[in-house]
Amino acid sequence: MTSKEQLLRQYLVYLNVERGLSENTRLAYERDLRQLMIFLTQRETDFTGCEANDLFLFLLKWKGDGKSPRSIARCNATLRGFFAFMLEEGKRNDNPSTYLVTPKLNQPLPKVLSEATMDKLLLEGETSYLAPRDLAMLEVLYSSGLRVSELIGLRLSDVSLDVGYVRCLGKGNKDRIIPLGDPAVRAVESYINTLRKSLCGKLESDILFLNVHGRPLTRQGMVYILKKWGKSHHLDRTISPHMIRHSFATHLLDHGADLRSVQEMLGHADISTTQIYTHLTRKRLLDVFKKSHPRAD
């Protein structure tokens, strides 16, 4: 194994063990660094000998190849993290990525449902056989802001109904505990005590939310359930699990929750990710002002 390959492997182990990054993130970082390795070889240098100008030209090539600003920004973050690691490990005595500039991203605001729409969505008007399960999932989603992968991975032992909280293992294997509101607790209790027993049948499963065959729901299955539920409640738009997660965060901030608490409940590693929701609340205040104040125009 070459020294370049050894350095890359050491960094990937560090990302896994020390940083606890998800496999998808590690794979993205590895792809970026392998492309950098090829580029530096063509310039007759390597990770230990390259200079800031080499990295600048590498990112410039990415831009010339038509890479999106988001991809370039991620690659920039990859380079910064990798060379900071090399500096800490004594593989270099400088960090050539220090002066790299991240391109500005025009980040679209997340799609959010109004509180009135969420109230309409959580009505118990649905009469289908699976309605108790579907309502329980919706209540938990809106009460906790879980990602869809976290919701369908919940086990019976992850939900404490007597205390009112849910425990989940999120990105990077990070454990977090989130409160559950009373409506969510009641909906889950009703589902467990009635429908879940019949769904489980003779199968023994500790997964909380099951499909009609007694097996764990899939992401696609969850998306289909929400689409069908929205139609039955006469919503004029298609809803998604992530839309409910966005609504959870935005409504908390609208009612005075602090950003750090919302960050913790969402499981965001960086508070800058959570700050996108403050743009939504500011926009909503501005809309209210323009519609309501006599001297807004």
- Tell me: do 265 and 119 sit in the same domain: yes
Residue 167 is classified by DSSP as: E
Q: Is residue 35 part of a domain?
A: yes
- Tell me: do 50 and 130 sit in the same domain: no
State the Cα–Cα distance between residues 46 and 141, nearest whole angstrom: 47
| pLDDT for residue 34 | 95
How many independent structural domains does the chain possess?
A: 2
Q: Is residue 225 part of a domain?
A: yes
> Does 219 participate in catalysis according to the annotation?
no
| pLDDT for residue 137 | 95
Q: Is residue 109 part of a domain?
A: no
- Residues in the chain with pLDDT values less than 50: 289, 293
| pLDDT for residue 33 | 95
- Tell me: do 202 and 248 sit in the same domain: yes
Q: Is residue 94 part of a domain?
A: no
- Tell me: do 57 and 137 sit in the same domain: no
- Tell me: do 127 and 83 sit in the same domain: no
> Does 215 participate in catalysis according to the annotation?
no
- Tell me: do 155 and 286 sit in the same domain: yes
Q: HEC states along 86-115?
A: HHHCCCCCCCCCCCCCCCCCCCCCCCCCCH
Please list, residue by residue across 250-287, b when 16 or more beta carbons sit within 10 angstroms of its beta carbon and e when fewer do.
bbbbeeeeebeebbebbbbeeeeebebbeebbeeeeee
How far is it between the farthest Cα atoms of the chain?
72
> Does 9 participate in catalysis according to the annotation?
no
Could you report the per-residue pLDDT of 77-136, keeping only the tens digit for each?
899 999 999 999 999 999 999 888 765 555 666 788 989 999 999 986 667 889 999 999
The parent domain of residue 18 ranges over: 3-88
Enumerate the H helices of 43-171 as residue ranges: 52-64, 69-88, 115-121, 131-144, 148-152
**Which residue of the set 19, 111, 242, 284 is catalytic?**
242
> Does 171 participate in catalysis according to the annotation?
yes
- Which of 88, 105, 136 marks a domain boundary? 88
- Tell me: do 70 and 180 sit in the same domain: no
CATH code: domain of residue 79 = 1.10.150.130
Q: Is residue 107 part of a domain?
A: no
> Does 147 participate in catalysis according to the annotation?
yes
State the Cα–Cα distance between residues 158 and 222, nearest whole angstrom: 19
| pLDDT for residue 16 | 84
- Which of 88, 107, 130 marks a domain boundary? 88
- Tell me: do 78 and 154 sit in the same domain: no
- Tell me: do 147 and 265 sit in the same domain: yes
Q: Is residue 158 part of a domain?
A: yes
Q: Is residue 199 part of a domain?
A: yes
**Which residue of the set 11, 29, 142, 277 is catalytic?**
277
**Which residue of the set 133, 196, 251, 268 is catalytic?**
268
| pLDDT for residue 293 | 46
Q: Is residue 102 part of a domain?
A: no
- Tell me: do 84 and 119 sit in the same domain: no
> Does 233 participate in catalysis according to the annotation?
no
- Which of 70, 88, 106 marks a domain boundary? 88
**Which residue of the set 133, 245, 246, 251 is catalytic?**
245
**Which residue of the set 26, 171, 227, 228 is catalytic?**
171
**Which residue of the set 11, 142, 147, 196 is catalytic?**
147
User: 161 by DSSP, 3-state: which?
Assistant: coil
Residues whose CB falls within 8 Å of the CB of residue 248, separated by 6 or more in sequence, listed in order: 141, 142, 143, 144, 145
CATH code: domain of residue 212 = 1.10.443.10
- Tell me: do 46 and 187 sit in the same domain: no
- Tell me: do 157 and 253 sit in the same domain: yes
